[in-house]
Structure 1
Amino acid sequence: MAVLTDILVAPATDAPAIISEWPNSKRWPSLQTTGLDWLVLADLAEALGQAALARSIENLEASSSADETKGPWVYVLPTELRDHIASIASIDLSTIAEAWSDKEEAKARGLTAQDAQRLLLEIQPLAVSARDGQKPMLLWVSM
């Protein structure tokens, strides 16, 4: 079973509305993906050289859920992750993508360096928009 995972730019207070409206509503800027959960994002933090940030992502608690055991869930991602993604220099993208795809969870999910680079290119504009708008990035997860 595939895990649906979307990254949205929205105030944290919108989490309950996202739970009730997503994915049918398109009022929040987003990236719709599959399998890009908090563990794969923790691997990204590690690839960015941020081990403490990776641990904090691994320990995220859902800020909102429709059902605690069945989901969907919304997680507020740390602003440090947003800011690191927003500030990746284009010259560093392939190196970070390679490092990310080589991390344990990302590798187990079949994330290739090419996939990782494509995801970074898609996530980065969201991260820049979120940073510039002083909003967090939220992770929506559904089984």
Structure 2
Amino acid sequence: MFVLVNGLIAGLGLAAFLALGDGLFDTSTFPVLIDVSYVPGMENLPSIAELLLHLLISVIIAFFLMYFYPREDRGKRTRYLLYWMLGFAVAFLPFSLLSKVPITWTAFCIWICGHLLYTVMLSVQVARNR
């Protein structure tokens, strides 16, 4: 239940942050986050279904992030979270290309900040519930 709730909250926070960034900076990071039209059989999903799929993936990511989260050494925790952030950063390129969204530095920075927020939200909850 802990992972479900925190995965949903962090996923909604990420989606809201990216949507806000898109509105403020005229980028397209939110569509990159939820677009699954490149997956066979999912070409015509409504946006709400794509968002729900994103939230399911967020819960799965939250499970793995929290399950393997190192609790003993601050240095290990920092490295662990930086590896997750690196993975999120690298994911921007293929997902942007698959979604056919123009790649810009502004969009990349919004993507990074949003996923930093996501990672911090989850790591704070793990630290609070040790």
State the TM-score, normalizing by the size of structure 1: 0.36
More strand as a share of residues = 1
State the TM-score, normalizing by the size of structure 2: 0.38
